[in-house]
Structure 1
Amino acid sequence: MLVDSHCHLDFPDLQSRLPAVLDAASAAGIGRMVTISTFVSRHDTYRELAEAHEAVFFTIGTHPHNAASEPDVPAERLVELARHPRCIAIGEAGLDYHYDKSPRDVQRQVFRTHIAAARSAQLPLIIHARNADEDMIEILSDEMGRGRFDAVLHCFSSGAKLAAVGVELGLYVSFSGILTFKNSEDIREIAASVPRDRLLVETDAPYLAPMPYRGKTNEPAYVAQTARVLAEVVGVGEADIARITTDNFYRLFRKAKAADADRGTAFAS
């Protein structure tokens, strides 16, 4: 079994054909998906998706693009919403200096609030980082000094230094379809350097479809192709990378493991 640790099932390209998307994922051996929050205000949508589909978990948080729209959501509110049994993480939150859709100081403030929520809730944080390596390293190092928290650098497309610091701080690193692109040799080199017990795979669907689907709407079924490339990069078989990344998923997202164990459906070895 594989897990798509990061997708956006509420986005129109997927939600409009959700039964077919979920059926295709199941047929491809994708046993679990995490639909990721981009607006706290859309909490009910994420919750309803997870309640309706056993294979789906959800998170709660504000994407850095939307930080200026939700600048004042307190950590306590995030913790409260995360108490739902199918909510397994805080985020996605972080820094995006590529598009700068929210002022950078607001992004940094909202990101720190999400770190505080993850620490308080004892749930992992889904981190978005783009073109912000130095500020990300500074904030993560500072906040980890204030108290540990679990986290994953999702859809990794940053530099080797951020990956190394993240691993040193105890974070996981997740790779998307970017790993399969012909011009992503640097990302494949970084993936090869990440310890096997810190690796995750994802789609970030409906974006970033892996080769040979590039240009199409991405969907959870396609995480299998990213996993194949990751297996080649790491030097293991496809069955091994499925086991490694699934075990890592359940180790990081302990609430998902507990929920599946309660149902008798946990896949971790």
Structure 2
Amino acid sequence: MTTLSTSLPGGSRTLGDLRVTRFGYGAMQLAGPGVMGPPADRDGALAVLREAVALGITHLDTSGAYGPHVTNELIRAALHPYPGSLHVVTKVGATRDGDGGWPVARKPADVRRQVHDDLGTLGLEALDLVYLRMGDATGPRPESLAEPFQTLAELQQQGLVRHLGVSNATPDQVAEARSIAPVVAVQNMYNLAHRHDDALVDDLAADGIAYVPFFPLGGFTPLQSAALSTVAARRGATPMSVALAWLLQRSPNVLLIPGTSSVAHLRENVVGAGLRLATEDVAALDRIGR
């Protein structure tokens, strides 16, 4: 039985003129080891994608760099033709090399090629939302995004992209992007242990712009992990459940895209994100990143 999207943790909100569930799904883990090559269990990967839609999830996050092209092709194989309520979001700005690295690819020709590749591999005439990925695998870097973002804005004007976002970006880069064209979402690393974007989350919320954190359990120290585990034990939940629940309760503009290659784990994440944290839990968790 399909669960209505309104029953998912956090309900739904808008990305521009698109309405999506705040609990979404990130497809990166469906590719092979190191996000390279096909999955060991293709049928299992297709089952995860179909279960995500069956649960009511309407926000799928992918990138042509995953595989490369692997997760896009899996999404198309599992779900095309897509339900009208489903919105597939992608990213441009990086490619892959033979060693599994993530070389920057943000020249205008690179951006155009990646958008057209995504359209082809996903089987779409227009992409709902495309993020420009800045920085590199180590994190954001202070540099201008004007040239590649202007290219994305031109592709939007041509009708190939509906909405624009930025990823792995600094607040200054977000501001620069917004000076060029409307931004509906920012996707950065953010979690209980990494609170560097606190002010940005709040500023975006005030302007109705979504914030999409990745690595919800990334970069914890042993001490921070112990603090998280203490709250999880008190609530009879897993650390991942607590981390996801905290993110949903952090701000109404936060959208989740936890990834997994397991149907059972996907269901666990949905249930876990619905955990209601008490005031004392939030206070203890807030001390982790501050």
> 2:219 aligned with 1:149, yes or no?
no
Q: How does 1:112-151 map to 2 (within 5 A)?
A: 112=149, 116=153, 119-120=156-157, 121-125=160-164, 127-129=166-168, 136-151=170-185
Q: How does 1:35-74 map to 2 (within 5 A)?
A: 36-39=62-65, 42-43=68-69, 45-54=70-79, 57=88, 59-63=90-94, 66-69=102-105, 71-74=107-110
Distance change >3 Å, CA 103–CA 109, structure 1 → 2: farther
Structure 1 residue 144 displacement after superposition: 1.3
CA RMSD of aligned residues (A): 4.5
Aligned-partner Cα distance in 2 for 1:27–1:10: 14
In structure 1, the partner of 2:19 is: none
In structure 1, the partner of 2:271 is: 228
Structure 2, unaligned stretches of length 5 or more? 9-22, 83-87, 96-100, 219-224, 230-238, 279-290
8 Å Cα contact 1:37/1:91 also seen in 2: no
Distance change >3 Å, CA 117–CA 228, structure 1 → 2: farther
Q: Deviations over 1:208-245 (max 9, x none)?
A: xxxxxxxxxx546534434434323478xxxxxxxxxx
Aligned pair count reads 212
8 Å Cα contact 1:10/1:46 also seen in 2: yes
8 Å Cα contact 2:153/2:181 also seen in 1: no
Structure 1, unaligned stretches of length 5 or more? 206-217, 236-269
- SS of residue in 1 equivalent to 2:167: strand
Q: Work out the percentage of aligned pairs sharing the same amino acid.
A: 11
8 Å Cα contact 2:132/2:149 also seen in 1: no
> 2:88 aligned with 1:88, yes or no?
no
Distance change >3 Å, CA 167–CA 219, structure 1 → 2: farther
The structure with the largest alpha-carbon Rg is: 2
8 Å Cα contact 1:50/1:86 also seen in 2: no
Match of 1:203 among 255, 258, 266: 258
Distance change >3 Å, CA 168–CA 140, structure 1 → 2: farther
Q: How does 1:168-207 map to 2 (within 5 A)?
A: 168-175=206-213, 178=216, 182=228, 191-195=248-252, 198-205=253-260
- SS of residue in 2 equivalent to 1:66: coil
Aligned-partner Cα distance in 2 for 1:59–1:143: 17
Aligned-partner Cα distance in 2 for 1:75–1:124: 15
In structure 1, the partner of 2:284 is: none
Greater percentage in helix: 1
